[in-house]
Amino acid sequence: MEKKNAVKLFLQTFFGNSEDPRFSFIEQISRFENMNKKQLLFSEGDQGNEFYFLASGRIKLFRSTIDGKEAIIRFIGPGEYFAEILLQLKGRYPVSAVAIEPSELLAIDATRILNHIEQHPDIAMHFIGALSQRIKYLLGMIEQLTLADIRQRFLNYLQVLRDKSPTKRVELPAAKGEIALLLGTTPETFSRLLKKLANEEIIEVEGRTITLCEQANEKKLTDS
């Protein structure tokens, strides 16, 4: 993908118009970056002045716990932006980011976009909407981790993925071991859960692809 196409994809995602007149401005304040699988983009606590828009690939956001373990915060897919919280912080990334597959992204100058927002208050609504969705997601994850058992956490997460899919088939955004970490459980427990749900004919599992079963069983998914 060329940079100009990534800029157009950003404009379409953020402003709803790939031909938005801000094309030249976004192109000037951004750089295009290719990442290899397992390449680290930034580490928790690093100083920086860029937030990112993912044009293709997949990114994992995570933090390190006190005992050195990894706590996965979120998986970023194409068409999503991340690290925009940098606009509210003093130039330090609150999480680490690593590519979990080859990826292409735009790195956008946070200071210049913030100045642009201050000069054009209407644009602030787009950022407020984005931050609201991110807060809603994080609150949902906190609720899942504190109130629900692993079965319900996974069914809730599967519902989120299904909402983004036009079919009954959804693709896990990362390896099953990574999904287990995201849900706050062990790979072994998650593997047993997948087998149990498959035996109950709620889902079918083929690699990272999850197929939801018939309508009666879909009701189990939403009502569980």
Span 156-213, pLDDT tens digits: 888 878 877 777 788 888 888 888 888 878 889 999 999 999 888 888 888 888 988 7
CA–CA dist 168, 214 (Å, integer): 9
For the chain, which residues make up each domain, given as ranges? 3-130, 148-223
Q: What distances in angstroms separate CA 211 from CA 20, 197, 198, 217, one per listed residue?
A: 38, 11, 10, 11
Span 6-59, pLDDT tens digits: 999 888 887 777 777 888 888 999 999 999 999 999 998 888 888 899 999 999
CA–CA dist 3, 151 (Å, integer): 42
Q: Which residue has the higher pLDDT, 19 or 126?
A: 19
**CATH T-level topology, domain 148-223:** Arc Repressor Mutant, subunit A (1.10.10)
**H, E, C per residue of 153-219:** HHHHHHHHHHHCCCCCEEECCCCHHHHHHHCCCCHHHHHHHHHHHHHCCCEEEECCEEEECCHHHHH
Give the pTM.
0.70
Q: What distances in angstroms separate CA 160 from CA 77, 111, 121, 123, 156, one per listed residue?
A: 13, 32, 31, 27, 7
Q: What is the pLDDT of residue 219?
A: 47
Residues 3-130, CATH architecture? Sandwich (2.60)
